[in-house]
Every structure is written in C-alpha cells, then in structure tokens.
Amino acid sequence: MSDTIFSKIIRREIPADIVYEDQDVMAFRDLNPQAPVHVLFIPKKPIATLNDAAAGDADLLGKLLLAAATYAKSEGFAEQGYRTVINCNEDGGQTVFHMHVHLLAGRRLIWPPG
Ligand code: AMP
C-alpha cells in the first residue's frame, strides 16, 4: 500500500488534532468536518480499503468501532446518537486510501445519505 496522509499523521510528520490513541488505533478530528463532531478512527496498520481487510484483521476492525463508541460515551453524545461510516472506493466516496471510520455527531443526520 502506498503512503497516505494518514500514515504521515500516525508518524507525526504532519499535525492533526488527535483525540484518541492506543497501540492499534488513532483518532483525530476531520479537517473538513461534516457535523459538529467529525472524528476519524484509523488503524495504525495501513489497510487501503475495507476490501483489503483480511480475516486476521477482524479484531482490529472491531477495535475501531469500539473506540468510536467509547469516545461517543466519554464525550457525552452516545445516548443522543451518532453515525459511523466507512467509505469504500469510488462509489463509496473514499478519498484517502488508508481505511477509516468516520464518527459524525452533534446534529440530526439525514438518511439516506446523498
Ligand atoms: P474519505 O472520503 O471517506 O476517504 O474520508 C477522508 C477524510 O479525510 C475526509 O473527510 C477529509 O476531510 C479527511 N482528511 C483529509 N486530510 C486530512 C488531514 N490532514 N487531517 C484530518 N482529516 C483529513
């Protein structure tokens, strides 16, 4: 997988507003937020798209979602609600090819999305 801007954030070569980090996961605020809360949860292991995740990545994928839910609870908006999104490839609207979970909250989110 080629290097992406998210790998540079993990290596702290470029700045980001990091809100959570552990051995496997990093989370930082989206540069172009689509809601009052817009945080990206990324695996430190570079996986380009959800298509590239293997069976051995199951724990890691679970950790991303659990980290998002834990963050929502710790920030106090879990009960009000939020949305998690993984965009995949062109039709999914993916622009950064280091897979990530978007966590969106703080406003009523429309469904279905555009
Ligand atoms: P996606 O379109 O699903 O691949 O999402 C990529 C997201 O990364 C977009 O919402 C961008 O606004 C966000 N993004 C791109 N570069 C940065 C950056 N340097 N720091 C934080 N978020 C970024």
Q: Which domains does the chain have, with CATH numbers?
A: 5-105 (3.30.428.10)
Segments in 1-114 forming alpha helices (H): 5-10, 58-75, 89-92
Instruction: Give yes or no for residue 114 having a pLDDT over 90.
Output: no
Q: Which of 13, 95, 98, when mutated, tests ligand 1's pocket best, judged by the most ligand atoms within 8 Å of its CB?
A: 95
31 lines ligand 1 (CB under 6 A): yes
Q: Tell me the pairing of strands 83-85 and 37-43.
A: unpaired
Catalytic residues: 100
- φ, ψ at 20 (rounded to 5°): -160, 145
The closest residue, in CA terms, to atom 1 on ligand 1 is: 94
CB 27, CB 10: distance < 8 Å: no
30 lines ligand 1 (CB under 6 A): yes
Taking the centre of ligand 1 as the mean of its atom positions, its distance from the CA of residue 100, in whole angstroms, is 9
pLDDT, tens digit, for every residue of 46-103?
Answer: 999 999 999 999 999 999 999 999 999 999 999 999 999 999 999 999 999 999 999 9
Taking the centre of ligand 1 as the mean of its atom positions, its distance from the CA of residue 103, in whole angstroms, is 12
pTM over 0.85: yes
16 lines ligand 1 (CB under 6 A): yes
Q: What is the pLDDT of residue 2?
A: 78
* CA distances in angstroms from 6 to 24, 26, 57, 65, 93, listed in the order given: 14, 10, 18, 18, 17
